[in-house]
Amino acid sequence: MSSSAPRPPAGPAAPAADAGGPSSPAAPRAVLRRPTLAAKPAPARPAPPPRAPRPARAPAPSTYRVASGAFVAPVRQVPAPATTTVGGLTTSRLNKRMAELGLCSRREADDWVEQGWVKVNGVVATMGQQVTAADRIEVDKIAQGFQEQRVTILLNKPIGYVSGQAEDGHTPAVALINPRSHWRDDPSRNRFSPPQLRGLAPCGRLDIDSVGLLVLTQDGRVARQIIGEDSEMEKEYLVRVVYQAPGQAVPRHPGERSAPLQEIDERDPVSTNVQAVFPKELLERLRHGLSLDGEPLKPAKVEWQNPEQLRFVLTEGKKRQIRRMCELVGLKVVGLKRIRIGRVTLGHLPVGQWRYLSPNERF
C-alpha cells in the first residue's frame, strides 16, 4: 500500500521566476498609514469670580416664633381694628374722617395725602393715619383749587340711554354731554371743555326706559351725598300706572327686563281713573309694609298726582324698586320719570339736554 506526501496548506501563490534567469528577491508590499495630526490644545477657561460670602441670617422678627431647628413659623396676628381709642377718644382713618367732614371723598383724600396736601395738627399726614374728632385737619389750597374745577352736570335723560356703562349695545347717557346738547338757558357761566368728561360718573341709576333727572359728577363729595352708604337723600318720581288687581301683576326678578315704558309728563291728559278703583289699604302698603329681597323697605311717601299718576318719594334705591313695589299691590308701571334729587329739581330742562349745577345750588 503506497503512501502519499502531505498536501501543503493553501495560501497565496508565490510569484513566478523569470524563465531562464536566476530568481530575484520579492519587492516590498506598500502599506498605507493614516497621518498623525498634532492635537490642538484646549482653550483655557477663565477662572470663576470669587463667590461673595453668604450674609448671616437675620434674626426672626418679633411676629415669628421658632418652632424647631431652622424652621420659622409665622404667628397669626389679630388685624388691627378700623377704629381705636386714644385718650378716651375714638379714632378713625383720616380718609374716612375727611369724607365725614364733607371735605372730599375717601379716594380724593388718599390722593391728597399722597401728594402731601393734608396736614393733621400742623404735621404732614401719612397714608392710613388714625385721627380723632379733636384733631385739626388742614387741606392745601392747591387741592381746593383742583376741587373747584370739578363739575356736576344735570341731564334730562331720554328713553333709550343707560345711566352707566354701555351695555347690550345701548349708548351711555354721558354721550349726550357735548356742546350741541347744552341747554341754552343754563343759568351758570360755565363753558364746556373736554377735560370735564374725565371721571364724570353717574350718581345713581335710571333705567334705560325711564326718563328724567340724572346727575353726573366729577366731585366725590356730591357722589357721597347722593349715593353714599349713609345717604338718605330724597328722590322724587312721577309714575304712571294701570291697575291689574292683586295677583294679576306677575312679580319679576330685579334683573329681568320688563316691557318698555312710555314718556311721561305732569301735564299729560288723563285717560283712565286708576285712583277711583285702587284700594286705599294697598296705597298704605306702598307707603310702608312691603319687602324686597327678604328685607323690609324704608317708609316712602306715595300720593296721587292725578287719577293715573302716583308721586313717589324714596330715600333708598334698590334695583327697579318702584316697579317691583307696584307689582306687589297689583299695579303695572307704564311710565316713570325722576323729577327731584334732594333740593335740586329737573325744572324746565328739555329732554336730552343738560346744564351745570349752579354754585348756589345744593343737594
End-to-end CA distance of the chain: 150
pLDDT, the chain, mean: 80
Claim to verify: residue 336 and residue 247 sit in the same structural domain: yes
Claim to verify: residue 226 and residue 287 sit in the same structural domain: no
**6-20, 53-67, 247-261, 342-356: which has the highest mean pLDDT?**
342-356
Claim to verify: residue 276 and residue 227 sit in the same structural domain: no
Q: 185 is in which domain, residue-wise?
A: 152-231+345-356
Claim to verify: residue 111 and residue 174 sit in the same structural domain: no
Claim to verify: residue 334 and residue 249 sit in the same structural domain: yes
Domain boundary among 116, 148, 180: 148
Residue 218 lies in a domain: yes
Question: Measured over all CA atoms, what is the biggest interatomic distance in the chain, rounded to whole angstroms?
Answer: 159
Residue 287 lies in a domain: yes
Residue 42 lies in a domain: no
Residue 293 lies in a domain: yes
Residue 25 lies in a domain: no
Claim to verify: residue 332 and residue 242 sit in the same structural domain: yes
The total domain count for the chain is 3
* Each residue's pLDDT tens digit, 141-192: 888 777 778 899 999 999 999 998 777 778 999 999 999 999 999 998 889 9
Residues 6+ apart with CB under 8 A from 313: 234, 235, 236, 237, 300, 301, 302
**67-71, 113-117, 151-155: which has the highest mean pLDDT?**
151-155
Predicted confidence band of residue 37 (pLDDT cuts 50, 70, 90): low
- Residue 348 above 80 pLDDT? yes
Claim to verify: residue 176 and residue 95 sit in the same structural domain: no
Q: Which residue blocks in the chain are alpha helix, DSSP H?
A: 94-100, 106-115, 141-148, 220-227, 274-277, 280-287, 321-328
Residue 274 lies in a domain: yes
pTM higher than 0.85 for the full model? Answer: no
